[in-house]
Structure formats: structure tokens, C-alpha cells
Chain A
Amino acid sequence: MDLSLFTRKSEYEWEIAPHGAMRVPAVIYASEQLIRDMDQKVYEQACNVAQLPGIVKASYAMPDAHWGYGFPIGGVAAFDPDEGGVISAGGVGYDVSCGVRCLHTGLTPDDILPVQKALADNLYRKIPAGVGSTGAIRLSHDEMDAMLTGGARWAVAQGYGTAADLERIEEHGQMQHAKPADVSERAKKRQRDEMGTLGSGNHYLEVQKVAQIHDARIAAAFGLRENDVVVSIHCGSRGLGHQIGTEFLKKMAIAAGGYGIQLPDRELACAPINSDVGQEYLGAMRAAINCALANRQILTHLTREAFAQIVPKTRLSLLYDVSHNTCKVEEHAVDGKPRKLYVHRKGATRAFGPGHPDIPEALRAAGQPVLIGGSMGTASYVLAGTKESETHAFSSACHGAGRAMSRHQAFKTWKGRQVIDELAARGILIKSPSSRGVAEEAPGAYKDVSAVVNAADRAGLARTVARLEPLICIKG
């Protein structure tokens, strides 16, 4: 983008002054290089979000921001219901509560490498991945509603995991005020056989090693040491969340006019928080959050089973579970006064600083773990929320690398077999049902995640704790 469009507030903070119908400024956190490379659409979309009723402080974009649906992916915006604030299905995204979960294994690469292939094969056998894959669980109508109300807590009650897992999940594993009655029968039908499935696209399960510790004190609090092996799972609310996103986008696009909301872009479809459509979406979206939490919990159980058969007595315990497509009610200080706001994070991770009551007690002094997904061949990162982050974008940080190249271009550039062989030569085993899927997800099609993480750290959004590198990747 053209740097002259911005006022540079600090080395990593770029502001767009309100103009036209903008109610507040737009702010992008990024390095100069990331801003130069960023799509012009991020500018347009961040400015469009700034026009929505009831927006508080500013419309924000994270260092990994790219062209999204109404909101930029990497967008953060908070709304006050008492000032006509809105809720937007596009501001949450189609994959409601998509997120990342990270598990300790207590193992080192020396334990894994002799059985690397057997473990990869067994994980691939156990974890349903890819287009059209189904899970072993079939939920009745009542069980579906119980799952949508109970989230990971429901999954644990069904025998998938332990109560100790729940403390390491946002919302303690269960999003409150979910309303299964606001979820359509079509959305429920789409989810019928998709519980405990990974999905496709950029979703994955990886066995990783801690390649580098950046902050020894916080890493110790998180239980991470160099050369530890961890498992990261990236997936969301599957068909149910996608269907809810689709249905409410249409509902809100049609209803917005009736609420007197002028949409700068149809995709920004939204409704006042205090309206029938707004409340209905909140109930359904919270149910979808529970679906995602239950799904990642079941996948965790399957992962434990797969490990136990290859490396007996391994104990997989949860480091943390974050969601990066949500809208949540949170208290934030605005001009020194605490206010209850509806914070949308579309491709952005919550990053509460040390001492926040919503962080599990064992981690509270260190700050909330922020889990950043990478691509198959590069790295993932663990960061921690900072006190300073509260003064920026309502305690939010980035969520991943973001694509640098379209799927079509990636498919023309690489062959799946070639990507798998190249990564195998580097000691990374890839298992996937789709050769074309692997080509489209080639590591070279993604931006440099390290540059994104470095910018988030330098901007004060979160602090870099550890760098994780893959050993095995199960790709949907």
C-alpha cells in the first residue's frame, strides 16, 4: 500500500484519519515492509468497518491482515450496544470459532523420530481429514442441542478428555448464553456426521518441536522447554458454523436497511446488538463456538488414542486453546472508564495481559497464551498477551501467516508430490488425502510468519515466547 495514506503513530502503528462516513480512525499494526506488501483492500475494508454504528475507539487490523469479507481478515472492532452498536456475521467469519489448540506431550524428538512414520500413519488413520470425511459420532437431535450448549464441557462428559482440559480453554470450554434453538435445522443437519473432523484448506494437526525459546520466564510458566514436542490442532466449527455464517449474512443483509443502517459493502451485513436479528445471531454464533470447542476436544481425544498406540504412557496435556473468529462480550477501559463491549475478532487472537481474571490461574501471571499457526514447512509460534496490549486493539494479536499467493497460482507452481518429498527431505512428514490440496497449501504460498510475529511483538500486541517447527503434519 501507499504509505502516504497513513499517519505513522509509531514504528509499528499506522493510522488512517476519519474521512467520509468514518466514525472513528482505522489503525493497522505492522512493519513498514508488511504495510507496503499489504493488499489495498485491507485499507478499504478497515475504513468501511470504521463506518459502522456504535464502533468504539477505532477499527483495527493486525500485522497479518488481508482481504476478507466485509471485515479484513485480521480485523478487530468493538461495539457498544448502548450507542446503537452492531454485531456482524462477516466480522466473525464463516468458520465461527476457528482456532488453535496446543498440547504438551512430555516427549522430545529423540522419542518421536524412531517412530515418526508409524505415528504419522496412525494419526492419519485416526483423524478424519479432507473433503467429505466423516467422524464416528452421530448425534441425535437432543444430543446435538446438548453439544451446542455444553461445548468442550459436553465432550468431556461424553468421555472425550478430562476435566483438567477445560481450565485451559477460553470460556472454560463452554460459551455461555448459546441458544441451540437459534441454530437452523439445516445447520444442524450439516454437522450431523462432522463431529471430530479436521476439515480441509488451511486446517491441520501438527506434531511440532520447540525449536527456540524467545522468553525463558514466560516459556517456563507455559511449561515449554527447547526441544519439547507439542501437538497443535487448527480447525473450527465445521459445517454448522459455515451454515450459520451463510444464513445470517443473508438475514442481516436484508434486515440492515430496516434498521436504518447504510452498508458501505453488502458483506458488512450487520444488525444492532439490541435487535431481534442481532440477538438471534448471538445465540447461534455462541452455539457454533461450543461446536468448535467440542470438535477440538474430540480431536484431542483421538490424538491421545493415536499417541498411546505408538508411544505408550504418553500423557498429552493442554497448554491452551484459542479461537480466532469470534465476537465476545468483554470489559475494556475506554478513556479510563470500564465499558462492556462486543469485540469482533476476525482472524485475530484474544491476548489478555498478565493478571486478567479470564486466564487460568496457573498461567495468569505470565499472560494469556496466543497460538499462531504457520504453514506445513515453516514455523508456528507461541506468544503471550501483554499489559500494553490493552491500550492497543482491545487485547488482540495476529493469528497466522496469511497467504501470499492464490490457490490457483500455488497449484500451477507446485505439485503435491514434490512438496511432500521436499518436506520429507527436511524431516517433516506430510499425510493428506489430496495431492492437489497439498500443492495449494505449499509453504511457499504463505507469507513469512516470522515477520508477522515480529511485528506483533514490536507493536506491543503480544510477546514472542517460543518458535515451533513441524515434524508431522496431517493436512485436511
Chain B
Amino acid sequence: MTAHWEHFPHEADVGVRGIGATPEQAFEQAALAMTAVIADPATITPTQAVAIEAEAPDMELLLVDWLNALVYEMATRKLLFSRFEVHIDGQVLRGRAWGEPADAAKHQPAVEVKGATYTALRVAQNPDGEWVAQCVVDV
């Protein structure tokens, strides 16, 4: 199985879902799915890296924290990200995101993400062994 991402429908907003062989891969893919809500990830060149840390008492809250940390970095640094790396150790996530400054002409961003939510929030291993990390993001 190759790690991948998808969107799922929510009435007003968008669901993001990452799928991978490990929780880390699923988290990385969920981040890519969130980027795709904003713009086409293929248009974003990963030229600069930002270190991200998140901490939460369980894996589901950790997913939301990870995505919200990315929302914060995008908003304050005016960046868009297209490559992610995640390491999870207990309640602590250490990661990196690579991207470039948002450019309306180049990236044609459709909408900004206000925050990742607890709606349809799930981090779990399916019976076939693959990990799924998902939630709805508010736009």
C-alpha cells in the first residue's frame, strides 16, 4: 500500500483523511490533504522548512494539534506547505513542513483553513493494518 490522502464531504466544510502504513505516515498525508483544501500541492515547491511541535494526551487530539500548528505557521509566515515529516513519541509530535511563500498567481489558493476540528475525528488502524488519520477542517 502506498501512503495517500483523500477528502471526504462535510456539508459546509471539508474532511481531510490521511492513510499510511504507520500513524506518522497517516499524519503526514492528512497534512497534505489539508494543503489540498487550500491549493493544488503540485504547485507548491518545498524550498524552506519549518519545525513543528505538538503535544496532546491522545492520538486524536494530537492529530488536531498537528494540523492546527500547521494552520498557525501558514497564517503567520504566509507559507503553503507540500512536504511533511512526522515523528511521534508518546504524547509528543516532532515534525517538519517544507513549502514556499503563498503566491496568489502561482498557487491560486481557494480558501484559508480557520482550524482543524474534532468533527469526524478519528485516528485508528484498520483491520488490514493501514492507519487512518482524519477530521473536518473549518474553512
Contacts and interface: CB of A to CB of B under 8 A. Distances in A.
B108 A243 contact: no
B111 A67 contact: no
A437 B56 CA distance: 33
A130 B104 contact: yes
Contacts of A68: 12, 119
A200 B7 contact: no
Contact of A408 (B14, B60, B118, B136): B14
Contact of B72 (A39, A41, A243, A245): A243
B104 A437 contact: no
B10 interface: yes
Which among A131, A265, A402 has the highest number of chain B CB atoms within 10 Å?
A: A131
B121 A67 contact: no
A94 B109 contact: no
B114 A440 contact: no
Given A407-B139, A408-B9, A253 B118 contact: yes
A408 B102 CA distance: 21
B110 interface: yes
Contacts of A131: 38-39, 102, 104, 109-112
B78 interface: yes
Contacts of B104: 130-132, 433-434
B117 A250 contact: no
Nearest to A194: B75
A475 B110 CA distance: 11
B139 A267 contact: no
A95 interface: yes
B76 interface: yes
Contact of B14 (A239, A402, A406): A406
B109 A73 contact: no
B100 to A, nearest CB: 12
Contact of B10 (A67, A186, A269, A439): A67
Contacts of A66: 11-12
Contacts of B46: none
A86 B6 CA distance: 36
Nearest to B7: A408
Contacts of A239: 75-76
Interface string A286-306: 000000000000000000000
Interface in A391-440: 402-403, 406-409, 411, 433-437, 439-440
Contact of B11 (A67, A130, A134, A200): A67
A199 B112 contact: yes
Contact of A266 (B7, B71, B76, B121): B121
Interface stretch (B20-28, B61-69, B125-133): B61-69
A69 interface: yes
Interface in B5-53: 7, 9-14, 37-39
Interface residues of B, number: 39
B56 A69 contact: no
B14 A266 contact: no
Given A406-B11, A408-B9, A409-B9, A249 B108 contact: no
Given A131-B38, A200-B112, A69 B11 contact: no
Contacts of B112: 131-132, 199-201
B12 A435 contact: no
A18 B108 CA distance: 48
A440 B109 CA distance: 12
A69 B118 contact: yes
B95 interface: no
B61 A250 contact: yes
B138 interface: yes
A39 B13 CA distance: 14
A246 interface: yes
Contacts of A436: 108-110
A79 B130 CA distance: 43
A225 to B, nearest CB: 34
B110 A440 contact: yes
Interface in A247-270: 249-250, 253-254, 265-267, 269
Interface string B78-120: 1000000000000000000000001010001111101111110
Contacts of B110: 131, 200, 407, 411, 434, 436-437, 439-440
Nearest to B139: A201
A434 B109 CA distance: 6
B111 A437 contact: yes
A408 B71 CA distance: 20
Closest 3 pairs (CB-CB, A-B): A131-B109, A436-B110, A132-B102
26 contacts: A66-B12, A67-B10, A67-B12, A69-B119, A94-B114, A131-B102, A131-B112, A132-B78, A186-B72, A190-B75, A199-B112, A200-B110, A201-B111, A242-B115, A242-B138, A246-B68, A253-B61, A254-B61, A402-B11, A403-B11, A407-B139, A408-B7, A409-B9, A433-B104, A434-B109, A434-B111
Interface of A: 39, 41, 66-70, 73, 94-95, 130-132, 134, 186, 189-190, 192, 199-201, 239, 242-243, 245-246, 249-250, 253-254, 265-267, 269, 402-403, 406-409, 411, 433-437, 439-440
Given A242-B138, A266-B118, 19 more contacts: A66-B12, A69-B118, A70-B118, A131-B39, A131-B104, A131-B109, A131-B112, A134-B78, A239-B75, A246-B68, A246-B116, A249-B117, A250-B61, A267-B117, A403-B12, A407-B37, A407-B139, A408-B9, A434-B109
